Every structure is written in structure tokens, then in C-alpha cells.
């Protein structure tokens, strides 16, 4: 398993709606994420900057690269775009975060 960490940005005053949408995450999206090898995925919010810091574990033989081509992923991105900074393809702008310390 490999741990991945990244940062995204929430638009101001969108926290409640962002939380609501994730509380009601679509079952077919959950299925797609798990099928791609994603495990133990969490997103954390920094209220001072509206940064979203996410971590996930993925299996060694993951298939995450196929997610952007899935209809469910593109629909999710479109639904979340009003709440977040996004790329031209609709995906969230994300910055990889390097692990500097880990206490197993």
C-alpha cells in the first residue's frame, strides 16, 4: 500500500455545501474509487485558508489513472466545481504533498 497526500482549495463560504455533498457521496462513485484501489480516503479542512488536505491509501496495483475517464468521476467533478478551484477538465486543482514525518 502507498499513502498519497494532496491539497485542494475550497472557495469561500462553501464548507457547509462541500460537507453536505460528501456526506451524501454517490454509491457508484464510492464503488469506482474502491475498484481503482483507493482505501482509507480522508479530506481535512483548514478554516484559516480554506485549504483541503487529503490523504488516501492505494493498493500497489491501483488503477487510479483510469478514474478521470469514468462518467461518474466527471459528473462528480462538475457537481463540485462551483465549490472548488478546478482545472480546465473540471478536476480539482491539487498539489501533491510530500511526507516529511510518519509515525507508524
Q: Annotated active-site positions, please?
A: 22
Neighbouring-strand partners of residue 96: 6
Pairwise CA distance, residues 34 & 76, whole Å: 15
Pairwise CA distance, residues 12 & 32, whole Å: 29
Per DSSP, the residues of 14-50 read -HHHHHHHHHT--HHHHHHHHHTTEEEEEEEEETTTT
Pairwise CA distance, residues 76 & 29, whole Å: 8
Amino acid at each position: 500500500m502507498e499513502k498519497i497526500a494532496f491539497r485542494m482549495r475550497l472557495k469561500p463560504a462553501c464548507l457547509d455545501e462541500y460537507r453536505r455533498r460528501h456526506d451524501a457521496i454517490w454509491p457508484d462513485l464510492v464503488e469506482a474509487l474502491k475498484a481503482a484501489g483507493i482505501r482509507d480516503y480522508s479530506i481535512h479542512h483548514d478554516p484559516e485558508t480554506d485549504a483541503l488536505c487529503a490523504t488516501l491509501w492505494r493498493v500497489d496495483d491501483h488503477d487510479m489513472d483510469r478514474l478521470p475517464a469514468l462518467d461518474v468521476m466527471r459528473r462528480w467533478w462538475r457537481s463540485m466545481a462551483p465549490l472548488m478551484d478546478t482545472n480546465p477538465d473540471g478536476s480539482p486543482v491539487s498539489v501533491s504533498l510530500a511526507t516529511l514525518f510518519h509515525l507508524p
